[in-house]
Amino acid sequence: MYLIDYLAKKPTPLIWAIALLLNLLIGVIDYLTGYETGVEVFYLMPIGLLSWLVNRRAGIIMSVISTATIMTSNLFAGKVIQNYLIEYWNILVYCGFFIVVVDLISEEKIISDNNKILIGKLQKSLDEIKTLSGLLPMCSACKKIRDDDGYWKQIEHYISEYTEAKFSHSICPDCKEKLYPGFGKNK
């Protein structure tokens, strides 16, 4: 995975060059091993590379190039085509298989990118959340709270510091009657 992450930071032409060289190398190995030996599955490496790092269209183009490389290496290896209909069928099967893989890889890349975005949003949300937990030492008389450094703070200040809560002040009916008896009553 580290190689893919490294290559993802490289320019697209370099990725294309690597994929084409890889395709050529596999084609040479395909030629050297002869047409009887099946190495077609290895052509998925450059196809997958382009599908993941570039886009779906690049993967499809590499699928066609890989199919042409398979045909060329088999012909150079001495394969004699006796029934062209079967040979065309085999070409379509290779190309179709490669394109199905391209579609699967492209969909997985979209899902992976969406997951990275969602994980980033989730991490940002988690970073913004502040919570209070545990026991809070509170003065029984003035209701100040002692923080981790030993300083006593007004409860409003302490809660605002450790949460997203904001305070506005008012007077409850009981305190209003106690502090301001008769205030606001109709006579």
pLDDT tens digits, 1-33: 688 889 999 999 999 999 999 999 999 999 999
Per-residue pLDDT at 131:
65
Q: What is the pLDDT of residues 105-155, one digit of tens each?
A: 999 999 999 999 999 999 988 877 766 667 788 888 888 888 888 889 888
Tokens representing 122? 């989730």
How many residues appear in the chain?
187
Task: Give residue 143's pLDDT.
Answer: 84
CB 73 within 8 A of CB 31: yes
Residue 145 in contact with residue 138, Cβ under 8 Å?
yes
Q: Where are the domains of the chain?
A: 2-113, 132-182
Has residue 55 got a pLDDT over 80? yes
Residue 86: its pLDDT value, please?
92
